Amino acid sequence: MKVLVVGKGGREHTLVWKLAQSPQVARLYAAPGNPGIAALAECVDIRVDTPITQPEKLRAEILRLRDFALAQHIDLTIVGPDDPLAAGIVDCFREKGLKIFGPTQAAARLESSKAFAKDLMASIGVPTATHRTFTHSAEAAAYVRAQGAPIVVKASGLAAGKGAVVARTEEEALEALAQIMEQRIFGSSGAEVVIEEFMEGEEVSLFALCDGEHYQLLAPAQDHKAIGEGDTGPNTGGMGAYAPTPAMTPELVAQAEKRIIRPVLAEMKKSGCPFEGVLYCGLMLTAQGPKVVEFNARFGDPETQVLLPLLKTDLAEVFLAACEHRLDQVRIEMSPQAAVCVALASAGYPGPVKNSFEITGLESLDGKEELLVFHAGTALVEGRLVTAGGRVLNITALADDLPGAVARAYEGVGRVHFEGAYCRRDIAHRALRPKK
Ligand code: AMP
Ligand code: GLY
C-alpha cells in the first residue's frame, strides 16, 4: 500500500513512524513533512499546511495534493492538522475516489465551529458547560454582566488554539469580548462568540477512531498546554503529554462513551454527516463526571506522540478498517507501559522565536531502547539540522511505569542541545504528585 500523511509536525512524524512499521505499507509520502519524517517517507513540497486564513491558497494546495495522490496511485491518505480538514480535503479527495481517513468538511464542524458543537451537544444532552452564542457584542456583554465571573469567552471559529479566554473577573471577560468581536484579533473567527460556564476539574484527552458508526478508543492521555511549570502562563501548542492518565479511570471512560461518544456519533449520522476520523474529546473531569470542553476532529499534538508508541495494533490496518466502515471488527491493543513526551521549544515560544540554531546530540539517542525523537520544527540547511519553529523536538520515552518514563524522557532531553532550548521540567506532574 502507498500511504500519504498530511502535515509537518511531531504528530505527523509519529504517524509516519508508526505506519512505517506496518507490513502493509510499501511506500510512505508526507506533504510537506519535515527532516525527521524524511528519514522514513518521501516528502512532497505541497503546502497543505497553509492556514485556513488563506482559504484560496489552501484550496489550491489541496487540489495539487489530490493530483499528486492520483498520479502516484496513493491507496490511503491520513490528515494530521485541522485546517485542511476544515477546508474540505476529505470531500475533495473522495470526489475522485481516493481513500482518505478524516472527517468531511461538514463533520469537521465539530471542531471548526464551536457554535455547531455546542448546539449539537445541547440538543442531545451531552454533558458540557452551559453556553450561549452571540453575534452582537452588546448582547454578549450584557450576558457576561448577568452571569458574573469566572466565565469563559471563546471565538466560535478556528483560532489556532488561542480562541478561548478563561476570565477570572468580569472585566477580563468584557475585555476578551472587545478583542474578539470588535478588534477582531482572530479575524472572521470572532464574528460569533460562545460564552460558557466555567468548569472545575482535571482535563484529559480521549481519542476515538471513528468510521461513521463504530469507534475504537485509544488510552486516555493528558497534555500540558501552558508554557510554564505548574501549568502557568500563556497557552502553547502543547509542551508535553503522557498516557495513560490515571485520573481517567475505566469507569470514567465508560461514562464518556455512554454519555458523549456514542450519542455524538449517532447524532452526526442521523443528521447526514457521519463522523469518520479521530474524534478528540477534550474532557473536564468534574464532580458531576466527564464534561466536554471541546471536540477536535483530528489527532492531538503532542498526545499522538505518546499514544501511537503505546499502540500495538497495526495502524495502517486500523485506518483501512475505518475507511471501509468496519472498525467494529478491529481490536485495538495498547501496551501496558507508560509513555511521556517532552517538547523542546525555542527561546521566546509561544511568542516570536529566532530560527536556524544548530541542533546537536541527537545521534547519541540513536538505537536507545524506548526513547524516540519526533521532529516538530526542524530544517536541514546545508546538511546541518537546525531549529525552524516554536516547538522543535518531541522526546518520547516508554517505560513500565510513569516515573520511569519521565526519568527516561528527561535523560533524552539532557542529551540534545540547541541555543535557547526550553522545556517544562514537570511533564506528568499531575499523575506523579502524592495523592492526598
Ligand atoms: P478550547 O479552545 O475550547 O480548547 O479551550 C482552551 C482551554 O481553555 C481548555 O483546554 C481549557 O483548559 C480551558 N477551558 C475552555 N473552556 C472551559 C470551561 N468551560 N471551563 C474551564 N476551562 C475551560
Ligand atoms: N493537544 C492539543 C491539541 O492537539 O489541540
Over residues 85-104, the pLDDT tens digits come to 999 999 999 999 999 999 99
Does the pLDDT value for residue 285 go beyond 60? yes
Which residue is closest in CA terms to ligand 1's atom 15?
293
Q: In what order do the strands lie in the sheet with 240-243?
A: 222-223, 240-243, 338-345, 391-399, 371-375
**12-16, 25-29, 157-161, 245-249: which has the minimum mean pLDDT?**
157-161
Q: Count CA within 13 A, CB hemisphere, residue 53.
A: 10
pLDDT of residue 189: 67
Segment 284-293 shows an average pLDDT of 97
pLDDT of residue 314: 98
pLDDT band at 404 (very low <50, low <70, confident <90, very high): very high
Q: List C-alpha distances in Å: 122 to 102, 129, 173, 183, 267.
A: 24, 10, 23, 29, 12
**What are the tens digits of pLDDT across the range 182-204?**
888 777 767 889 899 999 999 99
Does the pLDDT value for residue 356 go beyond 80? yes
Does the pLDDT value for residue 403 go beyond 60? yes
Is the CB of 426 inside a 6 Å radius of any atom of ligand 1? no
Is the CB of 389 inside a 6 Å radius of any atom of ligand 1? no
Cis previous bond, 302, omega within 30: yes
Q: For the structural domain made of 136-191, what CATH number should be given?
A: 3.30.1490.20
pLDDT of residue 164: 84
Span from the CA of 237 to the centroid of ligand 2 (angstroms): 6
Q: Which residue has the higher pLDDT, 369 or 333?
A: 333
DSSP bridge partners of 43: 30
Give the position, in ligand 1's atom list, of the atom nearest the Cα of 129: 19
Which residue is closest in CA terms to ligand 1's atom 3?
294
SS3 assignment, position 327: helix
Cis previous bond, 244, omega within 30: yes
Q: For the structural domain made of 2-105, what CATH number should be given?
A: 3.40.50.20
Could you tell me the sign of the dihedral formed by the alpha carbons of 43, 45, 47, 48, in that order? negative
pLDDT band at 163 (very low <50, low <70, confident <90, very high): confident
pLDDT band at 158 (very low <50, low <70, confident <90, very high): low
To the nearest 10 degrees (0 to 180), the angle between helices 137-147 and 170-177 is 170
Could you tell me the sign of the dihedral formed by the alpha carbons of 380, 386, 391, 393, in that order? positive
pLDDT band at 428 (very low <50, low <70, confident <90, very high): very high
Is the CB of 154 inside a 6 Å radius of any atom of ligand 1? yes
Could you tell me the sign of the dihedral formed by the alpha carbons of 337, 77, 7, 212, in that order? negative
Task: Break the chain into its structural domains and give their ranges.
Answer: 2-105, 136-191, 200-329, 338-432
Could you tell me the sign of the dihedral formed by the alpha carbons of 213, 219, 220, 223, in that order? negative
Is the CB of 196 inside a 6 Å radius of any atom of ligand 1? yes
Q: Is residue 180 a contact partner of residue 186, using CB atoms and an 8 Å limit? A: yes
Q: Average pLDDT, whole number, for the chain?
A: 95
Segment 119-123 shows an average pLDDT of 95
Does the pLDDT value for residue 17 go beyond 60? yes
**76-80, 113-117, 143-147, 280-284: which has the minimum mean pLDDT?**
113-117
pLDDT of residue 192: 87
Pick among 3.40.50.300, 3.30.70.20, 3.20.20.70, 3.30.470.20: CATH of 200-329: 3.30.470.20
What single DSSP character describes residue 404? H
Q: Is residue 73 a contact partner of residue 47, using CB atoms and an 8 Å limit? A: no
pLDDT band at 296 (very low <50, low <70, confident <90, very high): very high
Q: For the structural domain made of 338-432, what CATH number should be given?
A: 3.90.600.10
pTM for the whole structure? 0.94
Long-range contact pairs involving 64-70 (C-beta distance under 8 Å, separation at least 24): 65/4, 65/6, 65/31, 65/89, 66/92, 66/93, 66/96, 66/98, 68/4, 68/31, 68/44, 69/4, 69/93, 69/98, 70/96, 70/98
Q: Which residue has the higher pLDDT, 366 or 405?
A: 405
Amino acid at 74: I
Q: Cα–Cα distance between 400 and 24 in angstroms, integer?
A: 29
Does the pLDDT value for residue 79 go beyond 90? yes
Give the position, in ligand 2's atom list, of the atom nearest the Cα of 205: 1
Which residue is closest in CA terms to ligand 1's atom 1?
164
Q: Cα–Cα distance between 184 and 188 in angstroms, integer?
A: 7
Ligand having the closest approach to the CA of 226: 1
**What are the tens digits of pLDDT across the range 248-268?**
999 999 999 999 999 999 999
SS3 assignment, position 413: helix
Span from the CA of 166 to the centroid of ligand 1 (angstroms): 7
The residue among 37, 107, 99 whose CA lies nearest residue 74 is 99
Give the position, in ligand 2's atom list, of the atom nearest the Cα of 11: 4
pLDDT of residue 159: 62
Kindly write down the DSSP assignment for every residue of 179-244, as one continuous string: IIIIS-TTGGGGSSEEEEE---SEEEEEEEEEESS-EEEPPPBEE--EEETTTEEEE-S-SEEEES
Q: Is residue 11 a contact partner of residue 302, using CB atoms and an 8 Å limit? A: yes
| Domains 136-191 and 338-432 agree in fold | no
Q: Which residue has the higher pLDDT, 163 or 398?
A: 398
Q: Residue 52: enclosing H or E segment and its boundaries?
A: none
Q: Cα–Cα distance between 208 and 211 in angstroms, integer?
A: 10
Q: Tell me how many degrees the CA angle 232-376-165 measures, rounded to the nearest 5.
A: 35
pLDDT band at 355 (very low <50, low <70, confident <90, very high): very high
Ligand having the closest approach to the CA of 291: 1
Q: List C-alpha distances in Å: 77 to 71, 100, 311, 351.
A: 14, 4, 20, 33
Is the CB of 129 inside a 6 Å radius of any atom of ligand 1? yes
Span from the CA of 105 to the centroid of ligand 1 (angstroms): 23
**44-53, 162-171, 203-212, 372-381: which has the minimum mean pLDDT?**
162-171
Q: Cα–Cα distance between 86 and 106 in angstroms, integer?
A: 8
